[in-house]
């Protein structure tokens, strides 16, 4: 059994325990995302060589290790709320974060027995990145989670990337990035000859090569963590995932490569709440100076957005 498979099986087994408490696959993966980030930040802050303080001390991993019972629930919630206010990658990952594990004993077990037992910073990016990708894949294949719409099959992505042939000097954007599959595979493809690249080129690959847009907060956090675990971006740097609707306005920036699987078969819409408290969803035309046609047809709008 590979180390990646061992890690996935270990994490997945606990997901089945939490299902009895109504915690779904995606909710579980979100909680893993928060805790993995905190543990990795702790490892960076306590390493002997070049320690790096990513998370403010009041939101440290040690606070979770020291707390028990109701105090643990309160501490965890305070950390999530506090980190949601931070800029950059931190803010993207913890944006609107909530604790979905209501049993303090099970939360403690997840922290101590699963997350704290691994040295995530020492694990290669392939190991922890592949393990996380496998969890996302399992979540996408879970019929009850509804997550499949955000997860494009990796075989299809690889075929498209092979055709497009992105180079290390390119900039790649996905305006509907889901969990970041296109961005990951494009980065992997362009990094094949990383050993021959200059330090400046490697920095470009890490910090500037990919950009993603995602409308759904929870999916955006999964994408940001997915990139981070694969060595793309930095925990304390600017977020490579923008949490907003890519169609609303001209982004003011251009990329050399666009790779995406946008949500077809839908119309752009806006939801309003009437005086009676009922939510009403109305079609919304997207009007942009750089678009040829003004329409609520989402697939046409994505094509216009890509072409500009």
Give the Å distances, CA to CA, from 220 to 1, 28, 41, 244, 280: 31, 15, 20, 9, 26
**For residue 151, is it within any domain?**
no
**For residue 295, is it within any domain?**
yes
Average pLDDT, the chain: 86
Number of domains within the chain: 2
Cα 236-73-85 angle, rounded to 5 deg: 30
Task: Lowest mean pLDDT of 80-84, 233-237, 288-292, name the range.
Answer: 233-237
Percent of the chain with pLDDT over 90: 53
In this predicted structure, the answer to whether residue 280 has a pLDDT above a threshold of 50 is no
The pLDDT assigned to 162 comes to 97
The pLDDT assigned to 231 comes to 87
**For residue 113, is it within any domain?**
yes
Quote the CA–CA distance of 227 and 234 in Å, as a whole number: 9
In this predicted structure, the answer to whether residue 281 has a pLDDT above a threshold of 60 is no
**For residue 172, is it within any domain?**
no
Contacts of 270 (CB under 8 A, 6+ apart): 281, 282, 284
The pLDDT assigned to 147 comes to 45
The pLDDT assigned to 270 comes to 55
Nearest alpha carbon to residue 211 among 236, 239, 191: 239
- Domain termination site, one of 142, 166, 191: 142
Backbone angles phi, psi at 212, to 5 degrees: -130, 150
Confidence grade of residue 243 (pLDDT, cut at 50, 70, 90): very high
Same domain assignment for residues 138 and 275: no
pLDDT mean over 252-271: 80
Nearest alpha carbon to residue 241 among 251, 227, 257: 227
In this predicted structure, the answer to whether residue 159 has a pLDDT above a threshold of 90 is yes
**For residue 11, is it within any domain?**
yes
Nearest alpha carbon to residue 179 among 135, 212, 223: 223
Query: What CATH number should be reported for the domain holding residue 22?
Result: 1.20.1260.30
Quote the CA–CA distance of 188 and 205 in Å, as a whole number: 10
Residue 88's Cβ-count burial label (10 Å; 0-12, 13-18, 19+) is: middle
Percent of the chain with pLDDT over 70: 87
The pLDDT assigned to 272 comes to 46
Find the domain containing 121 and state its range: 1-142
- Domain termination site, one of 142, 167, 201: 142
In this predicted structure, the answer to whether residue 234 has a pLDDT above a threshold of 80 is yes
Give the Å distances, CA to CA, from 219 to 61, 140, 167, 243: 24, 12, 27, 9
Quote the CA–CA distance of 136 and 56 in Å, as a whole number: 28
Confidence grade of residue 268 (pLDDT, cut at 50, 70, 90): low
Same domain assignment for residues 1 and 136: yes
pLDDT mean over 270-276: 52
The pLDDT assigned to 7 comes to 76
Determine the length of the chain: 308
């Amino acid at each position: 059994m590979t180390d990646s498979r061992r890690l996935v099986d270990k994490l997945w087994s606990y997901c089945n325990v939490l299902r009895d408490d109504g915690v779904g696959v995606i909710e579980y993966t979100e909680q893993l995302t928060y805790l993995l980030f905190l543990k990795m930040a702790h490892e960076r802050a306590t390493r002997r060589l070049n320690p790096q303080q990513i998370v403010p001390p009041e939101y440290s991993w040690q606070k979770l290790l020291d707390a028990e019972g109701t105090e643990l629930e309160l501490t965890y919630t305070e950390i999530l709320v506090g980190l949601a206010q931070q800029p950059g990658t931190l803010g993207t990952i913890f944006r609107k974060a909530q604790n979905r594990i209501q049993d303090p004993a099970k939360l403690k077990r997840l922290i101590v027995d699963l997350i704290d037992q691994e040295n995530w910073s020492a694990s290669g990016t392939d190991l922890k990145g592949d393990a996380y990708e496998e969890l996302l894949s399992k979540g996408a294949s879970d019929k009850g989670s509804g997550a499949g719409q955000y997860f494009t099959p990796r075989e299809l992505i690889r075929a498209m990337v092979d055709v497009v042939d992105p180079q290390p000097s390119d900039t790649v954007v996905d305006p509907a990035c889901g969990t970041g599959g296109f961005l990951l595979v494009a980065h992997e493809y362009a990094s094949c000859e990383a050993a021959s690249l200059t330090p400046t080129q490697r920095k470009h690959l890490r910090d500037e090569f990919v950009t993603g847009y995602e409308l759904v907060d929870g999916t955006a956090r999964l994408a940001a963590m997915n990139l981070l675990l694969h060595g793309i971006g930095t925990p304390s740097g600017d977020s490579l995932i923008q949490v907003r609707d890519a169609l609303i306005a001209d982004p003011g920036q251009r990329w050399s490569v666009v790779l995406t699987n946008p949500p077809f078969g839908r119309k752009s819409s806006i939801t309003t709440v009437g005086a009676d408290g009922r939510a009403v969803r109305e079609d919304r035309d997207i009007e942009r100076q750089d678009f040829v046609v003004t329409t609520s047809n989402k697939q046409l709008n994505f094509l216009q957005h890509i072409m500009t």
